[in-house]
Amino acid sequence: MSLDVHSHLQGISAFVHTVESGNFTAAALRMGVSKSAAAKSVSRLEERLKVRLLERTTRRLSLTAEGHAYYQSCLKVLEELNMVEALLAARKRSVSGLLRINLPVSFGRLCVMPILEVMAADNPDLELEVSFTDRYVDLVEEGIDLAIRLGDPGTMASVTGRRIGSQKSVICASPDYLDRRGRPSSVDDLAIHDCLAYAKDRRALPWRFQESDGQIREIAVRPRHTISHGEALRDATVDGLGVSYLSTWLADKELRSGKLEIIALATPVTDGAITAIWPRSRDLAPKVRAVVDALVDRFMPLAPWDDQVS
């Protein structure tokens, strides 16, 4: 730090302490300096600003109009400095305590748990309480510190969040199935194939594509089978039961190993965001911030399961 900057900060500090304590003697005690040093710091500040900040009498000190305006500005600057220092201190604090986190069943097990396991190993004072469900969870009512949501995270005044990644899906099938039934050459060809659909609330979810003109097309396939569990749907596809529309995070290993083959009928599109959410009423504790930062580092800007998908 240069001498000028140090002098400026010392003058501001002396000025604020003097205003708040009412005299140079009390300000000096707060600062741990002599009364004359505190008074000289304020005088030098006034000389530099070329304006009188304090009216001095033998009995009391009072702010001038310029001094009042400058005092308010100093308070804002000091508040911002305190916020920055608090943020840095929070980041330095150890990641510890009980963290209650709610995860989607398949995505949580396959993609989030490996990261949590590393964090738990690196932070012995961190205690995890992990629950898995694909249903809606009210974080405040159920005492959850952090939740991961796939797709629309919803809009509730009681929660806030951060995008940690994107979900993309592809049409795929096992090579054995495609050798037996033929490879579809267009989206319309799916009508003559055994389609396996993911079901939510007993309803088969549509498949989405980006066509050559850039338009997003959504089709409601007529599934031969509907399965409401992601990993079970993937396994059935690997076993040759039919053609599926699978998230790349779910089918990554099988696509890389050749157990599943992408059917390049159309450009895959992002199905939705992957979002970390937490109660708005609570401060973002170091343990929550650490998990969210680790997920962002792992999943953004390109998730490891999407580096093979165009």
Phi and psi of 7, rounded to 5°? -65, -40
DSSP 205: P
Task: Inform me whether the pLDDT recorded for 1 exceeds 60.
Answer: no
Contact partners, residue 217, CB within 8 Å, separation at least 6: 187, 208, 209, 210, 211, 266
Topology of domain 167-271, per CATH? D-Maltodextrin-Binding Protein; domain 2 (3.40.190)
The arithmetic mean of pLDDT across residues 115-139, rounded, is 92
pLDDT for res 249: 95
pLDDT for res 281: 65
Tokens of 185: 């050459």
Higher pLDDT, 282 or 305: 305
The answer, as to whether pTM is greater than 0.85, is no
Residue 63 bridge partners (DSSP) = 54
pLDDT-wise least confident of 68-77, 260-269, 297-306? 260-269
Task: Inform me whether the pLDDT recorded for 113 exceeds 90.
Answer: yes
pLDDT for res 243: 97
Q: How close are the terminal C-alpha atoms of the chain, in Å? A: 50
Average pLDDT, the chain: 87
Answer CATH for 3-92 from 1.25.40.80, 1.10.4100.10, 3.40.50.10260, 1.10.10.10: 1.10.10.10
pLDDT for res 2: 46
- Mean pLDDT is highest, among 199-208, 213-222, 243-252, for 243-252
132-167 pLDDT per residue, tens: 998 888 888 888 999 999 987 777 667 889 999 999
pLDDT for res 251: 95
Higher pLDDT, 122 or 267: 122
Give just the sign of the alpha carbon dihedral 40, 43, 48, 49: positive
Phi and psi of 64, rounded to 5°? -80, 170
CB-count burial class (<10 Å; 0-12, 13-18, 19+) for 248: buried
pLDDT for res 59: 76
Domain boundaries in the chain? 3-92, 167-271
Cis peptide before 301 (omega within 30 of 0): yes
28-58 pLDDT per residue, tens: 888 888 989 989 999 999 999 999 999 988 7
Exposed e or buried b for every residue in 150-170, given b needs 16+ CB within 10 A? beebeeeeebebbebbbbbbb
